[in-house]
Amino acid sequence: MEQFIISPSSGVPIYKQLYSQIERMVLNGYFTVDQRLPSVRQVANDLDVNPMTVSKAYGLLEERGYLTRLRGKGMVVAARNNEILQQERLDMLDEMIKELLAQAKHMGISGDKVVQMINRNVVNDQNQSKAKE
């Protein structure tokens, strides 16, 4: 079983935490097409949460097209168009950038400084990649 991590005290509903983790795992290829997810009961027992919480997360993922319910087999990762997957990855990254900028603003750090830091990290990453070649 894949390990999901929830934080009951985070202020984010548990079903949203689970939804976000599975969505990210699908978009990143951790869960592959036709891979079976753990049953609602199994996840609920492992996380010590109400099965309806897990069912709600799975249902939302099914509505969004990430999962498909197969009779007798449970939930599996749905096949998705590669262009749609790429756009969803970009959308997720965009949300992460917005969150980063909001956190930086709370810390009194300007957007320009964040961009400088990102650019520095990109250059460092490129230099490390070249060094490995």
DSSP 82-107: HHHHHHHHHHHHHHHHHHHHHHHHHT
* pLDDT in the model for residue 131: 85
Surface-to-core class of residue 80, CB atoms within 10 Å of its CB (0-12 exposed, 13-18 middle, 19+ buried)? middle
Give the CA distances from residue 119 to residues 35, 53, 113, 128, in Å, rounded to whole numbers and listed in that order. 37, 40, 10, 14
Residue 4 located in a structural domain? no
Q: Are residues 66 and 19 in the same domain?
A: yes
Q: Are residues 46 and 96 in the same domain?
A: no
Q: Which domain holds residue 98?
A: 82-132
Q: What is the pLDDT of residues 53-78, one digit of tens each?
A: 999 999 999 999 999 999 888 899 99
> 31, 51, 24: which is closest to 59 by C-alpha?
51
Specify whether the CB–CB gap between 67 and 61 falls below 8 A: yes
pTM of the predicted structure, to 2 decimals: 0.74
* pLDDT in the model for residue 1: 46
**Positive or negative: CA dihedral 83, 31, 61, 21:** negative
Q: Residue 44 sits in a domain of what CATH number?
A: 1.10.10.10
Q: What is the pLDDT of residues 100-133, one digit of tens each?
A: 999 999 999 999 999 999 999 999 888 888 888 7
Residue 104 located in a structural domain? yes
Q: Are residues 69 and 109 in the same domain?
A: no
Question: What is the count of structural domains for the chain?
Answer: 2
pLDDT grade, residue 12 (50/70/90)?
A: very high
Q: Are residues 42 and 22 in the same domain?
A: yes
Specify whether the CB–CB gap between 66 and 78 falls below 8 A: yes
